[in-house]
Amino acid sequence: MWRYTFKRLLQGVITVWFIATATFAAMHLVPGDPLASDKAVSEEIRANLEAKYGLNEPVWKQYTIYLGNLAQGDFGISFTQKNRLVNDIIREHFPVSATLGLLAVLFAGLGGVIWGALTALYRNRLPDIIIMFLVILGISVPSFVVAAFGQLGLVSLNNLAGFNVLPVGGWGTVAHMLVPAMVLGLSTMAYLTRLMRSSMLEIVSSDFVRTAKAKGLPPTRIFTAHQLRNAVLPVITVLGPAIAAITTGGFVVELVFAIPGLGRYFVEAVQQLDYTVIMGTTVFYGAFLVFMVIAVDVIYGFIDPRVRLE
Amino acid sequence: MADPVLSVKNLAVEFDTYGGTVQAVRGVDFDVERGKTLAIVGESGCGKSVTVQSIMGLTPMPPGRITSGSAMMGDIDIIGRKTINGEDIRGSQIGMIFQDPMTSLNPTMNIGSQIAETLIVHRGYSSKQAFARAIELLDMSKIPEAAKRAKQYPFEFSGGMLQRAMIAMAIACEPPILIADEPTTALDVTIQAQILDLLMELQRNNGMSIILITHDLGVVARMAEHVLVMYAGQIVEHGPVDEIFYRSGHPYTMGLRAAMPTNDPNAEQRLTPIDGSPPDLFHPPVGCGYFARCPHAMRICAEQPPQAHQLSAAHAAKCWLHHEANTQQVAQINLRDHAGEEPS
């Protein structure tokens, strides 16, 4: 198991290097010059930046400088924001995105497993039909619409109650997080519900569940020990990418609910060709995704013994 | 047949499907004697598995439906019941093993725990006691290094070892009846023999009755005391194993025997299959189910279902050939088949 984990981590590092290289190449293929924008920087600053990043040097030299800085965990200084280190931007805003994201993942994962199992057990009966209809809605309605409706719902709720039941926007307490997390996790939850349903349907009619019945186990025990644990495996497989997707994909929700997450900086940086911020956030998110996938694979090994020995 | 452990009377099971209602089992009677092995033979889809699964309450309902019949254990009809005298029927009164051991065990739970589970649920063992007992049971089922093996998972076992573990699980609570639903079909021949020996040894030691479902007449000859031959959801013939083999009373049983390969290395003849296929159980035939494939079919076979005809004290066949006027004829048929002639 430890060997396996170590091997996966090594693979992860290589993947991250690849992401960094690809981002670097992409940045240099994009036409334009971050320092030649309307908000022109002074000659001095320009000279300093060019010296630090070797911007006048050949590309391979720039690349080695960039990788060297990266290896030391230095993402550089923002080209467009005054006195802002990319590391600081990430350090300040990523925890917000991560908290929101993890809450959303928790919501999506639990919801997906519960609704999925429920629909499978009530196959083709009313609860199944209702939930699967909502699932289709959840998958097909884009997040900005859901976010808007979520906020509208919050406003109406507060109006109806006459006081602020839950804050409409902003960040700080758990109350701020609830509705944005649900909005953010909704489509993933819908997707996981479908996945869990089909996986559960397969398990329900499997031979080993029949064995469990023939052993005379009570239905609750069959459900928890034999059906759920096996049915949840495919859900866990997609949970890794889902965590990364949710945590990084919250731009819209962050914007609508005025949450100071990292997503906004990422989008703005692309618009302003802020090299260091783009590369910093991309590499950081890339690394985050890669290691989430690895973490999930390792967890998977604990649940499914067949994976452990490989 | 004094004091059977299980006595099934007139059991009928139907399934609702999109194509209509399938009458999978159409009035089955049999007794299981204490400490003896009853074999149920017949081709795929003849209702053997459905019969025992209905008794165990394992047929999914819906779409399944038990339309009539009873299965008495002592004075109590166990159809539709979960417990008998305060004990669970499944696992505690009747153990069951299945055809494919590779898929019949939970892949994410270790073997020992899967056996222990039964003891915890039915016998109120603590998990530690139950696991220790599970190791003993694995040992009894001839699994080497049982203590180590109990902590392993199904994917670390071979097919034969898994079937041994399944047997250990099924007999954990020492049920009076063990149902073995094609226990050796998925295993290779040497392993088959080992599993059958194990079943017989366990039976000798704890005196349980075995209901053995199979379509392998070799297995029947080796294991069974009494045989039921099923065809199209009905029992067409039943009797002691020797009488079934040497004095077959039903053309279907004769056909099955004729279709058996021999061990003779010099035999250079083709197998004689039974031509045709079983009747459509959406609309079972009015008369005898075997009518369309029977080489000896008569007009009455198409029109009226044959009644059981007692051939000896414990041997009966449902065939019009045995009807009074035809007794002479069937004797000749049997003689001809025994002579090994090619049936037309």
Q: For residue A138, what is the domain's CATH number?
A: 1.10.3720.10
Suggest the residue from B58, B90, B106 to mutate for an interface test with chain A (most A CBs closer than 10 A).
Answer: B106
Asked if the C-beta of B16 comes within 8 angstroms of chain A's C-beta atoms, the answer is no
Q: How many domains does chain A have?
A: 1
Residues B248, B239: Cα–Cα separation, whole Å: 9
Contact A171, A260 (CB under 8 A): yes
Structural domain contains residue A67: no
Structural domain contains residue A92: no
pLDDT in tens, B243-274: 888 888 888 888 888 888 877 777 777 788 88
Structural domain contains residue A64: no
Which amino acid is present at A73? G
Is B109–A225 a contact, with Cβ atoms under 8 angstroms apart? yes
Q: Where are the domains of chain B?
A: 103-174
pLDDT in tens, B66-111: 888 888 888 888 887 778 777 888 888 889 998 888 899 998 888 9
Is A306–B109 a contact, with Cβ atoms under 8 angstroms apart? no
Q: Which of B58, B108, B117 sits opposite A229 (nearest CB)?
A: B108
Residue of chain A whose Cα is closest to the Cα of B157:
A306
- State residue B344's pLDDT score: 41
Closest Cα in chain B, distance from residue A226 (Å): 7
Residue A24, classed as helix, strand or coil, is helix
Interface of B with A in 88-117 (CB under 8 A): 88-92, 95-96, 98, 100, 103-110, 117
User: Residue B132: left if φ>0, alpha if ψ -120 to 50, beta else—which one?
Assistant: alpha
Residues of A with CB under 8 A from a CB of B: 206-208, 210-218, 221, 225-226, 229-230, 233, 303-306
Q: Which of A216, A304, A305 sits opposite B90 (nearest CB)?
A: A216
Structural domain contains residue A219: yes
- State residue A39's pLDDT score: 58
Average pLDDT for residues A43-51, to the nearest whole number?
75
Is A230–B100 a contact, with Cβ atoms under 8 angstroms apart? no
CA distances to B100, B163, B187, B192, B283 from B182, in Å: 8, 11, 10, 11, 27
Asked if the C-beta of B183 comes within 8 angstroms of chain A's C-beta atoms, the answer is no
Find chain B residues with C-beta within 8 A of A206's C-beta. Answer: 103
Is A216–B58 a contact, with Cβ atoms under 8 angstroms apart? no
Residues B214, B210: Cα–Cα separation, whole Å: 12
- Tokens standing for residue B95: 């153990």
A129: domain range? 98-260
Find chain A residues with C-beta within 8 A of B108's C-beta. Answer: 229-230, 233, 303-305
Average pLDDT for residues B180-190, to the nearest whole number?
85
Q: Say if residue B343's pLDDT is above 50.
A: no
Question: Measured between alpha carbons, how far apart are the two ends of chain A, in Å?
Answer: 8
Average pLDDT for residues B311-321, to the nearest whole number?
86
Would you give the DSSP letter of residue A222?
A: I
Pairing of strands B177-181, B94-97: parallel
Instruction: Write phi, then psi, for A266 (nearest 5 degrees).
Output: -60, -50
The pTM for the full model equals 0.76
Residues A35, A141: Cα–Cα separation, whole Å: 40
Q: Which of A208, A213, A304 sits opposite B105 (nearest CB)?
A: A208
Closest Cα in chain B, distance from residue A279 (Å): 42
Q: What is the arrangement of strands in the sheet containing B76-77, beginning at the earlier edge strand?
A: B20-32, B6-17, B64-73, B76-77
- State residue A111's pLDDT score: 93
How large is the ipTM?
A: 0.82
Q: Give the other-Cβ count within 10 Å of A308's Cβ.
A: 14
Q: Which of B121, B153, B155 sits opposite A216 (nearest CB)?
A: B121
Residues A56, B117: Cα–Cα separation, whole Å: 72
Asked if the C-beta of B78 comes within 8 angstroms of chain A's C-beta atoms, the answer is no
Structural domain contains residue A111: yes
Q: In the block, which residue shows the tokens 């808007």?
A: A148
Q: Which of A216, A229, A233 sits opposite B92 (nearest CB)?
A: A216
Residues A156, B226: Cα–Cα separation, whole Å: 76
Closest Cα in chain B, distance from residue A310 (Å): 12
Q: Burial code of A152-191, b = ≥16 C-beta within 10 A, e = fewer?
A: eebeeeeeeeeeeebbbeebeeeebbebbbbbbbbbbbbb
- At a CB cut-off of 8 Å and minimum separation 6, what does B313 contact? none
Find chain A residues with C-beta within 8 A of B56's C-beta. Answer: 214
The per-residue pLDDT of chain B, averaged, comes to: 84
pLDDT in tens, A221-249: 888 888 988 898 888 888 877 887 787 66
